[in-house]
Amino acid sequence: MRADLAAKLAALEEKFEALSSQMSDPVFVADHTRYVAAAKTYGDLEPIVERTRAYRKAQQELNKARDLSRNPSDLELRKLAQEEIQTQERCMVKLERELTSLLVPRDPNDEKNVILEIRAGTGGAEAALFGQELFRMYSRYAESRKWKVEVLSTSSTGLGGIKEVIASLEGKGVYSVLKYESGVHRVQRVPVTESSGRIHTSTVTVAILPEAEEVEIQIDEKDLRIDRFCSTGPGGQSVNTTYSAVRITHEPTGLVVSCQDEKSQHKNKARAMRVLRSRLYNIKLQEQKDQRARERREQVGTGERSEKIRTYNFPQGRVTDHRINLTLHRLEGVLDGDLQPLLDPLITYHQAEKLKEEVRA
């Protein structure tokens, strides 16, 4: 075990013992507010302390077994000692993995559903076509996880691409799995419209927003300007005849959300409010994140990461995630929804970074 991790665990164990002493003091117990707070912290620390002590005991048993394995005269004893060494080493690896997981701060948004927003960036029609492919990729992945996908709003192009799509993804731990997908996704390939065979580079932006509950984001109706207009594009007889489409402008922030996919004005408004609420919640989260980033830069002097997070290179059949320098030569599988080989290393990397910050704290 690393020295800094061992020191952190020792400090937490000391805090646990201090809380235990406090909670047995009748004067402290009489202060209900302080006692409840202490009891919660005690409960959070208990599994960490239990595993720390189990790890320490396994270390002691390992040392004993190693001493016995050095006995030159008793072959049977040496054999038993070697077996015990292997048992205790496996136990310690398991306990260290569990401790690492327990020490990583839990994101309170991890269990939330998400609002997925995909927009064509630079590259014109080719960017819109790739935006459609990315939406298919996330939809296929969601299907494999048995998540529910509901399209809230779309803006299509004539060639089968999308300028923008907004959808909700509902299921167990959706945000915890997809939260690192936000950013600029770059595609390199020869477009179907390119006659000379030149490789073009286009971009698509992806945003993963934790879906906010009404109790988390209160929106004052006085801050909203709601415009109603006729739907445009394919959709049947109601298009261009009824004012079912809704555009909501949140005047304090300037955020604008439009929905027209439903024939019902009421349903379009409800969908638009879901998106608006999640965007406002994301602004709130980003402000908190920016504040933490400013504080961290002041301490360690690090700069921001590049905006581009991933490249999909068709001629070489590879996908590269630039944040963790990971390249997979399985482009077709990834675009067909096999995202786990990309997502698992990303999650592991960010958990390790959070653990470093937690150990330093």
Residues 273, 133, single domain; the answer is yes
Same domain, 124 and 252: yes
Euclidean distance between CA atoms 106 and 318, whole angstroms:
32
Q: Are residues 245 and 149 in the same domain?
A: yes
- Distance, in Å, from the CA atom of 250 to the CA atom of 225, rounded to the nearest integer, reads 7
The pLDDT of residue 3 is 79
Same domain, 71 and 159: no
What letters, b where the CB count within 10 A reaches 16 and e where it falls short, cover 87-96? ebeebbeebb
User: Same domain, yes or no, for 210 and 326?
Assistant: yes
pLDDT > 70: percent of the chain: 88
Q: How far apart are CA 3 and CA 170, in angstroms?
A: 41
Helix, strand, coil % (nearest 5) of the chain?
50, 20, 30
Overall number of domains in the chain? 2
Q: Which domain holds residue 69?
A: 3-103
Integer Cα distance of 329 and 10 in angstroms: 44
Asked whether residue 109 is domain-assigned, the answer is no
Stretch 126-130: mean pLDDT: 92
The single residue listed with the structure tokens 């064509």 is 120
Q: What is the pTM of this model?
A: 0.66
279-304 pLDDT per residue, tens: 888 888 888 667 655 644 443 333 23
What is the C-alpha separation between 72 and 78, in angstroms, rounded? 8
Q: Assign residue 74 a region: left if phi > 0, alpha if psi is -120 to 50, beta otherwise? A: beta
Position with higher pLDDT, 346 vs 159 = 346
Distance CA 297, CA 291 (A): 10
Query: What single-letter DSSP state applies at residue 180?
Result: G
Tell me the CB-side half-sphere exposure of residue 136, using CA atoms within 13 A.
14
For residue 236, the model assigns a pLDDT of 44
The pLDDT value given to residue 303: 27
In a domain, 184, yes or no: yes
**Judgement on whether residues 72 and 138 belong to the same structural domain of the protein:** no
Select the highest-mean-pLDDT range: 82-96, 195-209, 256-270: 82-96
CATH code, 56: 1.20.58
Give the helix/strand (H/E) hosting 197: none
**In contact, 221 and 249? CB cutoff 8 Å:** no
Give CA–CA dist 74/79, Å, rounded: 9
Same domain? For 97 and 118 the reply is no
Query: Comparing C-alpha atoms, which of 249, 243, 248, 279 is closest to residue 263?
Result: 243
Instruction: Give whole-number Cα distances, 340 to 260, 328, 348, in Å.
Output: 34, 12, 12
